[in-house]
């Protein structure tokens, strides 16, 4: 079946530290990959996405590269801020599909 595995949290970093949140997937076919973010008290919102192998998604200083050979889509940011504290969800959807399959989410806490 299709599934997404994320590193467990919480991840606690100091401001300006480098962030990596690991995400690997299992899928039949060719998935599109997403990172969604949930800030406190808000709904999930799309952070970035990549639709084919070697594509890099980027937004708000976050990046993730679709690695087909390692079935991974790790999220990175060079310098985190307190305002990045949130829950980050890796997800996939299959070609032209309308259903998202999520990972369990990773809590990020950034200290000033």
Partner 1 sequence: DAMVIQNPRYQVTQFGKPVTLSCSQTLNHNVMYWYQQKSSQAPKLLFHYYDKDFNNEADTPDNFQSRRPNTSFCFLDIRSPGLGDAAMYLCATSSGDRGLMDTEAFFGQGTRLTVV
| Contacts with partner 1, residue ranges (CB under 8 A) | 4, 32, 34, 36, 41-46, 49, 51, 89, 93, 95-105
Nearer CB in complex with partner 1: 10/61: 10
> Whole-number minimum distance, CB 1 to partner 1, in Å?
11
Distances (CA, A) of 90 to 15, 21, 30, 74, 76: 23, 9, 16, 9, 12
Nearer CB in complex with partner 1: 13/102: 102
Nearer CB in complex with partner 1: 19/23: 23
């Amino acid at each position: 079946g299709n599934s997404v595995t994320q590193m467990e949290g919480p991840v606690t970093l100091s401001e300006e530290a480098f962030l990596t949140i690991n995400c690997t997937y299992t899928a039949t076919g060719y998935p599109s990959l997403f990172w969604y973010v949930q800030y406190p008290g808000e709904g999930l919102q799309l952070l970035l996405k990549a639709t084919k192998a070697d594509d890099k998604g980027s937004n708000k200083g976050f990046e993730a590269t679709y690695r087909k050979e390692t079935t991974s889509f790790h999220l990175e940011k060079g310098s985190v801020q307190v305002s990045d504290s949130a829950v980050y969800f890796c997800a996939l959807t299959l070609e032209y599909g309308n259903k998202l399959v999520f990972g369990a989410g990773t809590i990020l806490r950034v200290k000033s």
